Structures are given as C-alpha cells and as structure tokens.
Amino acid sequence: MYWDKDIETLNGGKLAELQLSRLQETLRRAAASPFYGERLQQARLAAENLTSLEDFRRLPLTTKDELRSRGREMLTLPLTEMVRLHASSGTTGQATVIYYTRQDIATWADLVARSMYMAGLRPADVFQNMMGYGLFTGGLGFHYGAERLGALTIPAGAGNSSRQLQLMQQFGTSAMHIIPSYALYLLNTFAQKGLDPRELPLRIAFLGAEPHSEDMRRRIEAAYGLKAYNSYGLSEMNGPGVAFECPEQNGMHVWEDSYLLEVLDPQTLEPAPPGQVGELVFTNLTRQGMPLLRYRTRDLASYDPEPCPCGRGFRRISRIQGRTDDMVIVKGVNIFPLQIDKVLMAMPEVGTHYLVELTRQDFNDVMLVKVEVQQSFFREDLKYLNQLRKRITEALKSELLVTPLVELVEPNTLPRSEGKVQRLSDKRQ
Ligand code: COA
Ligand code: AMP
Ligand code: ZN
C-alpha cells in the first residue's frame, strides 16, 4: 500500500523535524549559489541560525521573472555536475530552465514512483505515457517514475491518436498518463474505430497538466471503465510528483518531505487558513543542483490538514482553482499572452490590433487568432494573404508549441475594448 511507509506516514512533530533538518541542508547548499547566497545574507538567514520553519518566512519569495533572468545563478554546483535540463514555455530566450544532477533525477523518479504506487500502479502493469516528451517534464518525469516502479513503460508521447489506440490494444495497456481534455477527445477516435475503451484492460489513468473538474474526472472514469487520479506538479519543482491523489480521491497529498508547502493569501502574502484558497508557494527540500526557495507558483488552491483515511500524514490540496497571472494552458502547454504579442509585433505585416479566442471543440482546445493586417500590406490578393496567414501560423506555432487557427482581417475592423486592452478571451468553461 505504501511505497515508502516510514516517510509517507510521518506527521505532526516528526514531519516538522524532518522538514527543518532538510531545510537546513538546503540552505547550506543554496548559500553556495550566487543568487541565494546574496539573498540569504540579506535576510540574515543561515542553516546554523534557522531554528523554526517560521523563521524561514523572512526570506523573500522567488518569482518566475527571477528564475527567467537569473536562473543560472541559482545553481549550487558547476554546470558540469548537471545531467539534464527541462524548460517550460517560451522559446525566445524567455523559457524558465531547470537543471538536474544525476541524484536529482533519481530523487524525482522516486517521488513519481511513490505517487503512481499510491494510486495503485504495480510492476505487472503496462503503462502508456501520452504526455509530450522532450522539454516538457510530463513525459520523462512519468517515464522515469514508471520504470523505477518496475512497470512496462510505453513512451507513446502526445498526439497520433490512432497509434495510441493501436498501442493500447497491442500491448494491453492497463494504466495511462494523459491530459484530461485529450482523454475525452480520444473517445472520438475510439468511436470512429468502433471500439469500446471499457473492453480494454485499462484500470488507472493519471490526469495532469491542466485544470479539470470533478465532473470531467467522472466522465473519463465512466467512459474508460477505470479510476482516474489527479496529478499536480510544475517544472520549477522538478515536474510531476509534487502532489498526487491517493485512493480516497479527495484532494492531492503534497509530498511534504520533499516540498515545503506554504499557501499564501495572494494579496497580503500572509498564510491562508485551511480551506481558504491561496497561492501555492514551494521550497525544494531534497534537490541538490538547483533548489528553489519559496517559489511563487501562481497556482491557486486550498489545503486540508485533516488526517486522511489512507493513513498518509501529508496535507492535501484541492484541485487547482486558477492562477494569479495571465498564463493559460492550451492542449497541456503553458502560454503567456506576451509570447503571442512578441511574435505578432515582430512582423511588419501585422497591424496594431489582434484578438485571441480560446474555445473547446469536441474537448480539443482551439486557439483562434484574429489578426489585423497593416494597411500598407493589405491587398485583395488571396495567394499573398494565404501565404501571410501560413507564415504567422508557423511563427506562432514555433513559439507556443501549439498550432493556432489564424484569421486575417482588414485594418481597423476588430472591436477595441475600453480601458485596459484585453486581447485574450478564454471561452472554454
Ligand atoms: N495531448 C496529447 N495529444 C493531443 C493533445 C493533448 N493535449 N491535444 C491534441 N492532441 C493530438 C491531436 O489529437 C492530434 O493527433 P491526431 O491528429 O492523431 O488525433 C495531434 O495531437 C496533433 O494535434 P494538433 O491539434 O494538430 O497539434 P498542435 O500542433 O496544436 O499541438 C501537441 C501539438 C498536442 C502535440 C502539443 O500541444 C503537445 O505536445 N501537447 C502536450 C503537452 C504536454 O505533454 N504537456 C505536459 C506538460 S508537463
Ligand atoms: P509545467 O511547468 O509545464 O509542468 O506546468 C506546470 C503548471 O501546469 C502548473 O503550475 C499548473 O498551473 C498546471 N498544472 C499542472 N498539473 C495540474 C493539475 N493537475 N491541475 C491543474 N493544473 C495543473
Ligand atoms: Zn490519502
């Protein structure tokens, strides 16, 4: 039932003791990095004088912007000690990059294995991983975790729906890792092929990478005939395996032996009480190469400190309720509106105005970008306009990693909003 019983059943004082000693170790390591070395000194914090977890709250929060601009200064060891990097959103120098040592990869794989084991995955399972491999952490993160656990792992990657079905049939897939909207979208492919997913040996789905409702989970469970578990993580904290549902399916246990959790009121940045939605802030407690201290995730959730019937002592967080910034997640890919702006404004043919609309068709995310063409470039030449549309599509795809639908419109024809320019509307709910 437990992957690591001694750790998973820790609670109260024993857990706080472990966290404090791991935090002291982390501060010792972080002090070797230029960024945290300076920050810890300014806050007069050192491993030796850290006597309580409350003391630690004197340290300022670390932001995504700091990670973007000063990430390399957060390394505690030379780059030659790093064996892998992952990057999240933004290919034009704006990506946030996380570096891992060999030991970091092993620690992370163990946490993902622990998560999957908690939900019931066993070495006899056949696990199909339908997340993007490459720079996304969902692919390799779960891959290493499943191998660590001992399951037969199929590195299917994202997309190619017919092939996904073929693999499931051929190898008797019993567990899958899938983006929830894609799980529903994939049902169309089953229907087209006259197949019923309930007739496959599938028994577990790990759902992650995007917000989804309880209703969506139940629909996936019913359609596939399995149990689906919510999986939360972010590249900055390694990737998946930060918080995960247990068989109770009632909130996600945060692996507090590895990630120190704070839930803060986004306005006051004071701790939010149990049950109140606040921003999740994490500190790595076991990462060697690039521990982040008090990292602001921008994700909103509440926490529940009540003991869980599963016997695990770690607090549970609710589903992610939203974000405190303007990031949107499209087909499991994080997108900041500024990325779209940068691409479009770098093209002389593009006028001053554009609008982005997100919708869902057959559970598939659709991003429609309506672009005004610059007056001097506008002509009633269909071939030219088509080529321009293709170029804009390619440029956006290359930056965003998802393919938008681009529609060109005449200059000064898009509605202007009053006050603060609101170019992106999310109509998926
Ligand atoms: N997950 C997996 N596959 C998806 C998907 C999703 N969320 N959304 C769409 N797809 C499938 C499509 O069905 C299509 O396959 P098919 O034509 O065989 O049915 C294929 O991917 C390409 O879809 P399309 O919409 O044309 O491509 P795109 O260029 O807009 O997006 C994806 C490409 C889907 C591959 C890209 O968005 C992606 O990699 N998403 C997964 C991201 C991820 O793993 N995130 C985890 C972060 S930890
Ligand atoms: P990435 O760094 O690309 O792995 O993306 C991490 C972000 O994806 C998180 O900060 C969340 O906003 C979102 N995310 C990941 N898992 C979930 C989940 N289970 N539910 C809702 N949002 C999620
Ligand atoms: Zn539990």
Atom of ligand 1 nearest to the CA of 181: 7
pLDDT tens readout for residues 386-402: 999 999 999 999 999 99
Q: What pLDDT, on a 0 to 100 scale, did the predictor assign at position 92?
A: 56
Which residue's C-alpha comes closest to atom 10 of ligand 2? 234
pLDDT at residue 142 tops 70: yes
The ligand placed nearest to the CA atom of residue 184 is 1
- 417 confidence band (pLDDT: 50, 70, 90): confident
The pick from 237, 329, 402, 426 for probing ligand 2's pocket by mutation, whose C-beta has the most ligand atoms within 8 angstroms, reads 329
Say yes or no to pLDDT of 372 above 90. Answer: yes
- 422 confidence band (pLDDT: 50, 70, 90): confident
User: Which ligand has the nearest atom to the CA of 400?
Assistant: 1
Backbone phi and psi for residue 189, each to the nearest 5 degrees, phi listed first: -65, -40
The residues whose Cβ lies within 5 A of ligand 3, an ion, are 246, 248, 308, 310, 312
Whole-model pTM: value is: 0.96
